[in-house]
Amino acid sequence: MSVDERTALQTRRLCELVDRLLVRDGLLGRRLRAAGVDSGAGLTLADLPRLPLTTKADLWEHYPLGLLAVPPEEVACVHGSSGTGGRPTLVAYTAGDIALWAHVMARSLAGAGATRASVIHNAYGYGLFTGGLGVHHGAGALGATVVPASAGMTQRQLRLIQDLRPDVLTCTPSYAVYLGEAFAAAGVAPDEIGLRVGVHGAEPWTDAMRAQIERLLGIRALDIYGLSEIIGPGVACETLDSNGWLHVQEDHFYVETIDPLTGEPVPDGQLGELTFTTFTKEALPLLRYRTGDLARLDRTRGPGRRTTVRMSKLTGRADDMLVIRGVNVYPSEVEQVVLADRAVAAQYLLVVDARTAQPRLVVCAEALAADAAGSDAVTARLGAALRERLGLSCEVLLMPPGQLPRTEVGKARRLVRWESGEPPVAGLR
């Protein structure tokens, strides 16, 4: 589709969305009216910045399904994410939404080279989490074979991969490392595993971690991004030829970047908070939904065959930035330093020791070899590299291999606040 055709399609879909929200007269419709919008007619994409924003707090205040835009009998299923404070964020889908999800996920898998001849080993968790079933729907729409392995029971996963010879692996990046380490421990070399490509997302990961996964599993590792509120996985994805950029499926999910503090638009190319408008979703349409995720956009034509707007790999979350003794620290920067050191494994944990008014940052990492644990030379080297990168001195605790907790199911936990009591990691003082 040419840029002009796409803009015309997006503009028509924006007008229809605004009309639907106004007729429904729920929270978003009332906000539109308060902003002086009484009809979708005549709106263009350039009008978006003056339309109201939506936040996670809006979903929570109307928990469980208060923002539903269709009669309850049209809801086909519910998914969600385990939010902080024990309250999940719940999202509803109509049958049409599931078909849309299957479509954008099929596109994502196809961009990774999957075809109807592919066998997709899907080790994202099945359940309320959108990873497992999202990939499953997409694999079905593509006509591929899907193995619904779900997360966990790693020995069984190794067995299934060796017996069924899948070409595509879908799972979180931390679980891909876990699987790769388990293959290595079982004495299976990367080229014997038989996988060709991995499609990884749902949690932050860096290019250094990508290199680890590619080495451990002998695959190309691609990034896939999404969030339950917008649809689940499949909002944006890397392709084999996109050179590290993720193409946003902007015919359905229009993306803007805004300043996380002021909410004002930031120009393409600058870091900002990703904000999505769902043009075609039925059960839970969202207008300018603030994700809290930080990335850059590029609307120029990229190196690959896809022509849609590209977003960078996520560089962090607006709310995940740590402020340690006045210095802003992004966990992703720490990860890059840790994974760049050849003596150190892919596992790490940041501990913010907040027991005193002057918090300290401790970076706990695992040595690759047992005899390197506690090595003064490696510890000093990591400490210096971190100071250089972050502009902040932090302590390094180099532990023996296998000491840090692994995430077998769910998303990796990379950050712990130590407020009081026992240290969160053995050996920490």
3-state class (DSSP) for residue 202: coil
C-beta of 40 vs 173, nearer to ligand DLL:
173
Whole-number minimum distance, CB 172 to ligand DLL, in Å? 7
Question: Closest distance between ligand DLL and the C-beta of residue 169, in Å?
Answer: 12
Strands 395-399 and 360-367, sheet pairing: parallel
Tell whether the torsion through CA atoms of 166, 171, 177 and 182 is positive or negative. Answer: negative
Nearest to 176 by CA among 215, 147, 146, 140: 215
Q: Please, which residues bridge with residue 398 across strands?
A: 365
Provide, rounded to whole angstroms, the least separation between the CB of residue 42 and ligand DLL: 33
Closest to ligand DLL by CB, 100 or 372: 100
Distance from C-alpha of 54 to C-alpha of 142, rounded to nearest angstrom: 33
Least distance between ligand DLL and beta carbon 217 (Å): 17
* Closer residue to ligand DLL, CB minimum distance, 122 or 154: 122
Cβ at position 338, least distance to ligand DLL in Å:
17
Q: Which is nearer to ligand DLL, 40 or 201 (CB)?
A: 201
SS3 content of the chain, % helix, strand, coil (to 5): 35, 25, 40
Q: Cβ of residue 372: shortest distance to ligand DLL, in angstroms?
A: 30
Give the span between the Cα atoms of 393 and 360, in whole angstroms.
9
Residue pair 320/261 in contact by the 8 Å Cβ criterion: no
- Residue 217 vs 396, nearer CB to ligand DLL: 217
Contact between 362 and 350 under an 8 Å Cβ cutoff? The reply is yes
> Min. distance of Cβ 185 from ligand DLL in angstroms?
26
CB closer to ligand DLL, 10 vs 89: 89
CA 338 – CA 131 distance, rounded (Å): 27
Smallest separation, CB 365 to ligand DLL (Å): 21
SS3 93: strand
Identity of the residue, 37 or 237, whose beta carbon is nearer to ligand DLL in the bound complex: 237
Residue 245 beta carbon to ligand DLL: minimum distance, rounded to whole angstroms: 12
DSSP string, 287-355: SSEEEEEEE-EE-S--SSS--S-EEPPP-EETTT-EEETTEEE-HHHHHHHHHH-TTEEEEEEEEEE-S
Closest CA to 276 of 236, 218, 305, 316: 236
Contact positions vs ligand DLL (CB under 6 A) = 81, 124, 129-131, 201-204, 223-228, 232-233, 291, 293, 314, 317
Closer residue to ligand DLL, CB minimum distance, 22 or 102: 102
Q: Say if residues 201 and 236 touch (Cβ distance below 8 Å).
A: no
Q: Which of 45, 56, 203 is nearest to 124 (CA)?
A: 203
**Per-residue tokens: 255:** 């993306």
**Complex with ligand DLL: residue 91 or 324, whichever CB lies closer:** 91
Q: Give the Cα separation of 399 and 418 in Å (integer).
A: 18
Closest to 172 in 3D by CA, of 211, 224, 239: 224
By beta-carbon distance, which residue lies closest to ligand DLL?
201
* Listed residue (292, 259, 226) closest to 56, CA to CA: 292
* Closest to ligand DLL by CB, 223 or 282: 223
**Least distance to ligand DLL from the beta carbon of 302, Å?**
18
